[in-house]
Amino acid sequence: MKLALSSQLKNRLLPWRDFALCLLIGVVIGVVTISNGFFAQPVHAAPTLDLSLFDDEMNPAIYVDHLSPVVVKEGETFDLEFVLSCAYIDIFPDCSPNGTLFVADAPNGKFTPIQLEEDNQTGLRVFRTTLVAPMKKGQSVEYYLEVFEPQGQVNFRYPSSGTVQVEVVETFAEVLVPQSPEITTGQLILQLPWGNNESSVGLFEHETMIAGPGAFATSTKGEIALQDPVNQRVLLYNQELHTFRSFAVHLSDSGDLEFQADGSLLVANFFGEKTDGEESILPQLYRIKADRGAIERVGPIFARIPFYLTKDASILNRDDSLVKPMDAQGKGRSREAQKNDRGKPPLGIRWLDENHSRFSDPKAGVAIETSSVSPSGFISHFVKTNDGYVIVFRSDVMHVLWLDREGKLLSDTTVKPELYTEWNPYTLVKVTPDGEVWYMSSTQDGGIAIYEITQP
């Protein structure tokens, strides 16, 4: 019985033996066809880099991340570090930028090349060297970096114009930053609820995003200007008359505004918008003239990461240069003009570590080194006032230090702004020429409040 069944099965399967064999042959033919690249994507020629896709200001081909020492002591050794990374890793995944440092030789002013040491700690391509500051006060250390990347054939100089200059000082005014004193609250200047009428500011809550006013400014004439991006306007409050004016303009939560010496108010949108003649979104500058007529567009700001607006119509950019988007007649400047004519901040700051920082005012010959027992936070403000300087350290609190003209600590205070909406430590805190510090708080139910603190 068993034998009969087996023979029956064999007879039934026998005709399919050829089918199975041919199926196998078919698979083999398929594999051979695929492995010969029949279905593969067409092979492209060797990739080339289209450098027109990049520009130094807004979209660099190679990023140079470098923190200048800003100010050093005579004879002091100090490190220079440059982190280089390619923006075109899609085209050349193994791109490997190299840098040669050129340092000014003090006696003859000639620049001497220095080969940098490469270090790939934590996967960052870091190039570094150690220099010694000259033993002569007032003699700065000057350098620039030549960057070359062989695969993309990219060759450029950092900074793109001029050099990096490090001030050399004989000594620092030493300031021991006290432990943050007990938290106080400033004097309430202005409080506005959430809303969209003439005396309120917009609140936008969605997913992880909570947006509200991103910047404010105060004038010596008693005006307070507020960016109200959710309502797409600038609000101008007159403290004496208790009146509001509204100026419709395209804003993001990232921007700044600042009153100028001629009485005008400059308004910057750092996210920006796409305007006629531009291929991409660019930060934009607007102006409300002293007569407080309509708001007008000045033009684009060619700065990749703007920090804040200054009182002389400049914008501090990522590489610590001052971009000037407007000419003397108040007209917008071209990309080339903004690139070729950049300024340098009059004051220098350099955070060394959680407990030490340096500050310099080369024009006044003042150099300050702060040290603290507990972490100080980062430096959000170093401002020259009529009577000296104001330093603002930012951690979970805002620690404000008032110093005299020689850099001696006079007093300090600590406040803790409430932040329901997004923060911006640079544009939601302002220091007046008289040394008053204004800051904005926001709460879920209470709207926004602007406070003023004065030197204790």
Partner 1 sequence: MKNKIVRMMIGLVFGFLLSVLTYHTVRAYTCLTQETDCNAGSSISSWTASQAVSYVRTAHREPYQLGGGWWNPNQDQDAYHSVKGYEGPDCSGLVFKSWAMSYSTGSTAYWSWNKTHDVHGPYQASTFWGGCSGVCRTLCGSSTTNCSSYTLSAGDAFVGLNPPLFANHTVMITSRTTGGDYYVVDSNYNGYGADGGGSYYNGWRETTSGRANYKNTNGVKGIRRNPW
Tell the smallest beta-carbon distance from residue 60 to partner 1 (Å). 9
Name the segment binding partner 1 (CB under 8 A); options: 11-19, 144-152, 192-200, 325-333: 11-19
Which residue from 329, 249, 263, 251 is spatially nearest to 292, judged by alpha carbons? 263
Interface size with partner 1, residues (CB under 8 A):
93
Q: Is 150 in the site for partner 1 (CB under 8 A)?
A: no
Tell the smallest beta-carbon distance from residue 105 to partner 1 (Å). 26
Nearer to partner 1, 244 or 351 (CB): 351
Binding test (CB under 8 A) with partner 1, winner from 161, 220, 243, 444: 444
Site for partner 1 in 18-37 (CB under 8 A): 18-31, 33-34
CA end-to-end span of the chain, whole Å? Answer: 110
- Binding string to partner 1 for residues 152 to 171, with x set by CB under 8 A, is what? --------------------
Nearer to partner 1, 260 or 338 (CB): 338
CA atoms within a 13 Å half-sphere pointing along the CA-CB vector of 24: 6
Cα(325)–Cα(57) distance, rounded to whole angstroms?
A: 13
Site for partner 1 in 372-411 (CB under 8 A): 375, 377-380, 394-396
For residue 6, give both structure tokens.
């087996």
Helix (H) or strand (E) holding 9: helix 2-35
Burial (CB count <10 Å: 0-12, 13-18, 19+), residue 219 = middle
Tell the smallest beta-carbon distance from residue 197 to partner 1 (Å). 18
Tell the smallest beta-carbon distance from residue 348 to partner 1 (Å). 8
Cα(106)–Cα(112) distance, rounded to whole angstroms?
A: 10
Site for partner 1 in 64-93 (CB under 8 A): 65, 67-68, 70, 83-87, 89-90, 93
Binding test (CB under 8 A) with partner 1, winner from 279, 291, 336, 445: 279
Q: Is 120 in the site for partner 1 (CB under 8 A)?
A: yes
Rg over CA atoms, the chain: 30
Site for partner 1 in 127-146 (CB under 8 A): none
Q: Are 202 and 230 in contact (CB under 8 A)?
A: yes
Binding test (CB under 8 A) with partner 1, winner from 1, 3, 5, 15: 15
Name the segment binding partner 1 (CB under 8 A); options: 169-177, 193-201, 348-356, 360-368: 348-356
Tell the smallest beta-carbon distance from residue 115 to partner 1 (Å). 20
Binding test (CB under 8 A) with partner 1, winner from 157, 330, 419, 446: 419
**SS3 (DSSP) at 219:** coil
Site for partner 1 in 193-252 (CB under 8 A): 204, 206-211, 229-230, 232, 250-252
Nearer to partner 1, 23 or 135 (CB): 23
Question: 123-128: long-range contacts at Cβ-Cβ below 8 A with a sequence spacing of 24 or more?
Answer: 124/83, 124/85, 125/83, 125/84, 125/85, 125/96, 125/97, 126/81, 126/82, 126/83, 127/81, 127/82, 127/83, 127/84, 127/98, 127/99, 128/79, 128/80, 128/81, 128/82
How many other C-beta atoms can be found within 10 angstroms of the C-beta atom of residue 121? 7
Binding test (CB under 8 A) with partner 1, winner from 270, 302, 389, 402: 270
Name the segment binding partner 1 (CB under 8 A); options: 160-168, 170-178, 189-197, 265-273: 265-273
Percent helix, percent strand, percent coil in the chain, to nearest 5:
10, 45, 45
Binding test (CB under 8 A) with partner 1, winner from 274, 311, 344, 408: 274
Site for partner 1 in 290-309 (CB under 8 A): 304-305, 307
Name the segment binding partner 1 (CB under 8 A); options: 132-140, 158-166, 321-329, 345-353: 345-353
Tell the smallest beta-carbon distance from residue 375 to partner 1 (Å). 5
Name the segment binding partner 1 (CB under 8 A); options: 117-125, 127-135, 217-225, 335-343: 117-125
Nearer to partner 1, 23 or 188 (CB): 23
- 223 phi and psi angles, rounded to 5 deg: -100, 145
Nearer to partner 1, 108 or 280 (CB): 280
- Angle at CA 388, nearest 5°, toward 385 and 389? 70
**SS3 (DSSP) at 162:** coil
Strand 209-211 relative to strand 183-184, pairing: unpaired
Cα(244)–Cα(236) distance, rounded to whole angstroms?
A: 6
Residue whose entry in the numeric block shows the structure tokens 């899609």 = 90
Q: Are 87 and 60 in contact (CB under 8 A)?
A: yes
Tell the smallest beta-carbon distance from residue 250 to partner 1 (Å). 6
Which residue from 389, 404, 393 is spatially nearest to 347, judged by alpha carbons? 389
Nearer to partner 1, 111 or 271 (CB): 271
